[in-house]
Amino acid sequence: MPILVLLSFFHLSLVSSHRSVNGFTLDLIHRDSPLSPFHNPSNTPYERLQNAFDRSFSRASFLKEKCDNSIQSTVIPRGVEYIMKISIGTPPIDTHLIVDTGSDLSWTQCEPCIKCFKQLTPIFNPKKSSSYKTLGCNNKLCQDGEFFQTCTNNTCNYNATYGDLSHTTGYLSTETFKFASTSGEHVSIPNIAFGCGHDNGGLFTNASSGVIGLGCGNAISVVNQMNQEIKGKFSYCMIPLESLSINSNATSHISFGDNAVVSGPGVVSTPLFKQKLSMYTFYYLNLKGVSIGNKTLEFKSSKISPTVGDGGNDQGNIIIDSGTLLTFLPQDFYESFESRLKSLISAPKKVDPSGTDRLCYESDENGTIDLPKIVAHFTDADIELLPSNTFPQVKEGLVCLAILPSYDFFGQPAIFGNLAQANFLIGYDLVANKVSFKPTDCAYRH
């Protein structure tokens, strides 16, 4: 549903009890990292990758449902790829939240539970926090209406239902969110609006207690709520999955505010688009074409709603998504893309062991094959995709393409997945409406 945290390094300025945050950086914990409560040490690296492929299909299917139904929320629990570890309340209670750039509403389970799923950390009890407050009916966040807000005794209620019928219901409230670095530094941001869920159920697991939303479509998004502190900027740098098998302590990271500025040699930027209607919560880019070797294929996608952005006559036509491992392209375009790849790859072709008919090849002892240069051409930004972005090793001696067709291309959007984004520092500037890319070794702490 998305992304998922421990703090690693930050630079910030603190002023009295109302802390003025210039910028901070957090570790972005992949669900399969030993740092994650989702981690299953019995799984092999190849099993973890296959599980991530399966979650991508679930996530892509959900995004299609989101296209068809603007009322549903934007995270699917089975699609979780990253988690965030934060503390909530006064005194602070540790919790793990699913993080997603495609979701606006943040929420966590709360006592007393009408119905709650099991979680590894204690369930937050608002009665034990001196900084907890419910939102009244006249609050503008309560009047938005996206999450079925209703009022009881001047308390704002919310109800969010997911594509798989998982749900959360409770009170829209405010609380202090505390982020702690591994060096012991702390930054607290008061009055963050979130859902205090008293009735929650479905396919959530005990490894998380809720969701933190980094979408851009609603004022309740944490990114929008922290706008004064972070100036509309956040960035992330995701490590390739194979890095976890090489170094179990390697971790991705996410930055906010001044720490999120992407600059220096090699940086390219492309306009950011925001959907006005049912897909408004997602971040869109405009993909103009893809080069394979010396030939460029013009990108064509199904027509989408008009978007808001600074791309001139361009429109957003592909979601950039942190919660989907794979990249999905419209079927007609994918067929041309795959045909071109096949004509230029000389490695022995192999059958996809997963049965999903991916394009697979026998690899050398290093888990690689000779590939033509692959470049994604976004408006004003050319992004060269490395073999680790396109052909991961799915088992010993075998690599498979991590780009697949959207078979129902009249309803399912194109998606630029997180594997294609690995080893790029990617910065979002919601004020300038742009996304910047910089080739980076994301396992290195910057």
Tokens for 414, please give them: 């194109």
Tokens for 174, please give them: 């405010």
Strand residue runs (E) in 203-267: 210-213, 233-237, 252-257
Residue 350 pairs in a beta bridge with: 360
Spatial distance between the Cα atoms of 408 and 383, rounded to a whole number of angstroms: 27
**Active-site residue, selected from the candidate residues 258, 314, 321, 429:** 321
Q: Which residues contact 180 (CB under 8 A, 6 or more apart)?
A: 6, 7, 87, 186
Is 314 an annotated catalytic residue?
A: no
**Active-site residue, selected from the candidate residues 27, 100, 258, 429:** 100
Count of beta carbons in the 10 Å neighbourhood of residue 329: 25
Is 321 an annotated catalytic residue?
A: yes
In Å, how far are 106, 290, 301 from 209, measured between CA atoms?
11, 40, 37
Q: HSE on the CB side for 431, CA within 13 Å?
A: 9
Spatial distance between the Cα atoms of 242 and 422, rounded to a whole number of angstroms: 11
Burial level of 396, CB count in 10 A (0-12/13-18/19+)? exposed
Q: Which residues are catalytic?
A: 100, 321
